Structure 1
């Protein structure tokens, strides 16, 4: 049975109301924006502020995404927690909501050896019926999945791929080499700078935070590639590279993305963590968005 997920999945922001509470109506509007651009949904990730959501909110966000998407596109939900036990508990609840797959970051805060990471992921994959993507984001977790570890984990029948957000072509290439040898194991590219190159080298999909700001522009990289217009896909990548570089230079990239979406007139609320934007920074973001998207 194939679990291949293709194209663009937007690492969708979690919407909050003026009191900072989860805002499902506004969430539906953002999901619809992405579906209209041809994108699937990756919810509860870094751009979705999973690290400041409680379990009830994580489930509510996922439920909204599955319901609003209504089978029109893939929905992958992030479920990674520090402990194996909590990851499994959340994963079992998320699986009941009807997602296509789940994604699991390496446990964070606690430094782990590669064999400990393997034990964690095998336990999670054994316990869940929903397909599992590994999720490598060492800059945020302090733990790096090595290609040899991933090669071993890829033998598990319920581990169907890896999302790599290490940020380097070298890291992505190491996992693509694993995928080339193991049928049915897929690599999802995380960095917005490597979307086109990832597709050229064999990634089946990308998970894009920048697609919150530029849903159609990001989708063009995939859609042109998918129809065989490789040069067009590369140009589409170049069109968003300047936007990415300039926007991400302002602040922590997920915070800058959410602020940009808000300044574009969308009702997404403020980031829940302690990032604050000066009037000068907001003006800079407005200028960047107008420069690249108007």
Structure 2
């Protein structure tokens, strides 16, 4: 089975911080044309700054724009199971390919609490559910033992790992090797090829917003059996990641890099970091170096 690349799509905003749906649709088309699948309302999509109704409409707009050409995953995760459940049911109605559920944030959870949370959501929808682990942002981590327990649920199809720890990713991949139908999607952009080679079903990339063709190129070359080309594309992706993320918070930098090439994507909602002229100059230099201007 071919491996898949998803881009954790940015949400575009107008100057008054309302969502620019036309610009967001343009970003969807850009990714589809490059050959990538879409994840919306994720970390790179400013999901924590969106209202309930905005998430529902955003998902409807993305699914409509995709028109069945590629897969669409949407993140339903919120601090409370109650709201996560409501969102998941709406996404189930809209007809997405899968529903990701980020671990609750702000509320400290036990592993047993996480099992109840994810199981409750997966019980309530027919769309496959993927666990979404990003402990640096949520302060709640899905331990590999917990992921293995949840892998037995008939509607939990896998996990998106954005923890950044190779050891945890290896542990999730070991579960995938033991449990048929439980997929792992890697989040760290420097580990895309490594993850594919070690059993991941694909990746979900934030950096792909700024470099869609290279991300697609890694997957295309790997799926075609051209490891040398996949390694070449991964090396470019990794260098770009190192250069760009060395300037600060990754999602904000991806959004700003996009803005400097296409102002229609807008800035992030406040209280995100305000643009800085010196940082913009450095980002512009990086974009020029990789011929992305």
Q: TM-score, normalised by structure 1?
A: 0.97
- Paired residues of 1:101 and 1:130 also in contact (CA < 8 A): yes
Partner of 2:280: 282
Match runs of 1:39-188 below 5 Å: 39-188=36-185
Q: How many residues align?
A: 291
Separation in structure 1 between the aligned mates of residue 81 and residue 15 of structure 2, nearest angstrom: 34
Q: How much has 1:266 moved relative to structure 2?
A: 4.5
Separation in structure 2 between the aligned mates of residue 223 and residue 169 of structure 1, nearest angstrom: 24
Separation in structure 2 between the aligned mates of residue 255 and residue 43 of structure 1, nearest angstrom: 16
Partner of 1:259: 256
Partner of 1:238: 235
- Paired residues of 1:214 and 1:293 also in contact (CA < 8 A): no
Partner of 1:291: 289
What CA RMSD, in Å, does the superposition of the two structures yield over aligned residues? 1.2
Deviations 1:179-205 (A, max 9, x none): 000101100001111101010001111
Cα 1:5/1:236, change in 2 over 3 Å? closer
Deviations 1:109-141 (A, max 9, x none): 122111111111111111111110000100001
Separation in structure 2 between the aligned mates of residue 293 and residue 187 of structure 1, nearest angstrom: 32
- Paired residues of 2:7 and 2:209 also in contact (CA < 8 A): yes
Unaligned 5+ segments in structure 1 are none
Separation in structure 1 between the aligned mates of residue 238 and residue 232 of structure 2, nearest angstrom: 10
Deviations 1:187-244 (A, max 9, x none): 0001111101010001111001111100001111111000001122111110111110
Separation in structure 2 between the aligned mates of residue 15 and residue 265 of structure 1, nearest angstrom: 11
Which residue, 200, 203, 210 being the options, matches 2:207?
210
Separation in structure 2 between the aligned mates of residue 45 and residue 208 of structure 1, nearest angstrom: 10
Q: How much has 1:60 moved relative to structure 2?
A: 1.3
Separation in structure 1 between the aligned mates of residue 251 and residue 60 of structure 2, nearest angstrom: 22
Q: How much has 1:167 moved relative to structure 2?
A: 0.6
- Paired residues of 2:129 and 2:155 also in contact (CA < 8 A): yes
- Paired residues of 2:8 and 2:206 also in contact (CA < 8 A): yes
Separation in structure 1 between the aligned mates of residue 2 and residue 276 of structure 2, nearest angstrom: 39
Q: TM-score, normalised by structure 2?
A: 0.97
